[in-house]
Structure formats: structure tokens, C-alpha cells
Amino acid sequence: METLQKTALALTIIGAVNWGLIGVFNFDLVAALFGGRDVVLSRIIYSLIGLAGIVNIGLLFVDENDRK
């Protein structure tokens, strides 16, 4: 489960950076890299990032002392 959590966290960070770029510069990095917002690959990336956010909700309920 640790690998899944780390992968999900990395995807969530990528999503956060993308949203930051959209907010500050009106630049969608995912769309730029994969050919636009409506391209299937971009939609898959957006979906994976969304699922990663859902997976990371579990981090809110883990006690820091229990992870060690």
C-alpha cells in the first residue's frame, strides 16, 4: 500500500502544480504536453490525478505515530 500511496501523492502534487499554473498563468501543462484538453490521453491523466486525490484522502485519517 505504501507504493500506491506514494504514487498517488506524486500525481496529486503534479495536479496541484498544474492547477497553480492554470491559476497564475492560464497555462494548462497537461493539455500542452498531451495535445489538448479533449485528447483521450489528457483525459486519462486528469482522471488518474483525480483518483490519486481520492486515494490521498486516507492520509487525513492516519495518525503520524502509527506510520512508523
pTM of the predicted structure, to 2 decimals: 0.82
Give per-residue pLDDT as tens, 32-56: 999 999 999 999 999 999 999 999 9
Q: CA 32, CA 37: separation in Å to the nearest integer?
A: 8
Residue 67 has pLDDT above 70, yes or no: no
Instruction: Give the residue among 56, 43, 41, 42 at the shortest CA–CA distance from 11.
Output: 56
Q: Are 58 and 52 in contact (CB under 8 A)?
A: no
For the chain, give every domain's residue range.
2-67
Annotate 1-64 with DSSP letters as a single string. -HHHHHHHHHHHHHHHHHHHHHHHH---HHHHHHT-TTSHHHHHHHHHHHHHHHHHGGGGGS-G
